Amino acid sequence: MRVIKLRKTVGVDATNFYMDVGMVQIILNEILNENLTVDGVFGIKTQELLLEFQKNNGIYNEKIVSNQSSTFKKMVESLPLGVFIPTHYSHGPLRVDIGKLTFDSEEMIFI
């Protein structure tokens, strides 16, 4: 089971908490087969790869990545199983069904 959640927002003029940016960088590397340095800094290369991912997936006018954004949901859906080590920031359990995406107001669970 994977639990993937951003604490804040990532993108141009976003909060860009270093752990969130690092998570986005790891995901972009995996799904785009890139070699982006995972440094937690939302720089030009991270921005370019994020825009490439959005363009490839028909996502437009979404400048900030958040737990509820179409970009983040598509990024998580695009990850192959067994690739991502989960980080869980939740305050309690959430019922999930095996093999399905489950969302709540705080996070995204991918089984």
Alpha helices, H only, 1-109: 18-32, 44-56, 70-78
Single-letter code of the amino acid located at 9: T
105, pLDDT greater than 60:
no
Q: What is this structure's pTM? A: 0.74
Whether the predicted pLDDT of 100 surpasses 80:
no
Structural domain containing residue 94: 2-110
> What's the token pair of residue 12?
């141009």
- Return the pLDDT at 24: 93
pLDDT at 76 exceeding the cut of 90: no
Length of the chain: 111
Q: Report which of residues 12 and 79 the model is more confident about.
A: 12
Sheet with 101-103, strands from edge to edge, namely 2-4, 108-110, 101-103
Tell me the pLDDT band of 70, cut-offs 50, 70 and 90: very high
24 in Cβ contact with 50 (< 8 Å): yes
